[in-house]
Structure 1
Amino acid sequence: MIRRYGEPHRSDIRYTHRPGAYAILPRDGKLLMTYQAEPHDEYQCPGGGIDPGEGPVRALHREVWEETGWSIARPRRIGAYRRFAYMPDYDMWAEKVAHLYVAHPVRRLSAPPEEGHAAVWLAPDEAIALVANDGERAALKRLYSARGRFSTTFP
């Protein structure tokens, strides 16, 4: 069973299954995150939906580049969670299954091509405090060690 975060399932709503891939990106004691201004002002782990015919790792590379402008290397899957949410960009209710990865930001290729996104570097404690999604926050807390260093070992 995959752990659920956020709003409970509602029987009066028809949900669309929407798998996605999301990255936790540590480098030099900070985390590469994305700031999305629209439709809600929020900080997020870079990532998004897996397109039909696309695998999760390919989607992860694409989404990280679209939202941060960075290339990544050595993604390693660390878990998954699900949530039920309204997606205003698509005007639909979705059962989102988020596949989580830890990867290494390699280099900045460009500004984020996805409109309304900006790449930001945050200390792990800042990222935990600012990230909008409870599932991402839980993963960050589990990966952030008490010694103040980011661990890529998922307990």
Structure 2
Amino acid sequence: MRRYGERVDPAMRYTLRPGAYVILQRGRNLLLTEQDGDRLEHPEMQLPGGGIDAGEQVLPALHREVMEETGWTMDRPVRIGAFRRFVFMPDYDMWAEKVCTIYWSRPVRCLGLPTEELHMPVWVPMNDAPALLSNEGDAAFVASLL
């Protein structure tokens, strides 16, 4: 599995954190989420998605995360691959080995604003998305669809 992000520090203890993320495509545009938080140096553009909670199944977690971060529902997601990232997660105050499973789907309906604080849905042209995305793994998967 391909790895992106910071170098692995052999002295560091990483917590395994599985997550599911989705490329939401409508025509030649993608629905991304912009996260702007107190602990971030600058807003981050991300694929919608996030961590899978203990006892939660992957696809329900993905649907939940998309709704929380964008306010949109989506069609049946199709798995297109996965990658690993080793990162510090300030919201959890931990170093994590994130196993990121990437899906592709189409947004279906906007039900309202995101319910997750500090997230805002943003439509961007698909060709521009790889340069806008904040992590290399997300960008690589979007670029592979171009």
Give TM-score, length-normalised by structure 1. Answer: 0.90
In the alignment, the residues of structure 2 paired with residue 129 and residue 46 of structure 1 have an alpha-carbon distance, to the nearest angstrom, of: 16
* 2:5 corresponding residue in structure 1: 6
Q: Structure 1 residue 125: deviation in Å?
A: 2.0
Point out the more displaced range, 129-138 or 4-13. Answer: 4-13
CA RMSD for the aligned pairs? 0.8
Give the secondary-structure state (helix, strand or coil) at the position aligned to 1:113: coil
Query: What is the DSSP-based 3-state SS (H/G/I as helix, E as strand, rest coil) of the residue aligned with 1:13?
Result: coil
Structure 1 residue 28, shift from structure 2 partner: 2.4
Q: Write out per-residue CA displacement over residues 35-84 of structure 1, whole angstroms, 9 at most, x where no aligned residue.
A: 00113211000010001111111111000000000001110000000010
- Give matches, 1:71-110, under 5 Å: 71-110=73-112
Q: Report runs of 4+ in structure 1 exceeding 3 Å deviation.
A: none
Deviation of 1:128 after TM superposition, in Å, equals 1.1
Corresponding letter in the other structure for 1:95: E
Partner of 2:33: 34
Q: Supply the distance in 1 between the matched residues of 2:123 and 2:13 (Cα, whole angstroms).
A: 37
SS where residue 3 of structure 2 aligns?
Answer: coil
How far residue 124 of structure 1 moved from its aligned partner, in angstroms, is 1.1
- The residue number in structure 1 matching 2:58 is 56
Q: Which residue is 1:151 aligned to?
A: none
Query: For structure 1, which segment, 38-47 or 133-142, has the greater mean C-alpha deviation from structure 2 after superposition?
Result: 38-47
In 1, the alpha carbon distance for the partners of 2:21 and 2:4 equals 15
2:141 alignment partner, one of 139, 145, 151: 139
- Percent identity, aligned pairs only, is 55
**Aligned partner of residue 125 in structure 1, secondary structure:** coil
Give how far 1:126 is off: 1.9
1:81-131, CA deviations, whole angstroms, 9 ceiling, x for partnerless residues?
001000000000000000000011000011000010000000012211110
What residue ranges of structure 2 are gaps of 5+ in the alignment? none
SS in 2 for 1:74: coil
Query: Structure 1: which 5+ residue stretches go unaligned?
Result: 145-155
Q: Letter of the aligned partner of 2:18 in structure 1?
A: P
Question: Which residue in the other structure is 2:17 paired with?
Answer: 18
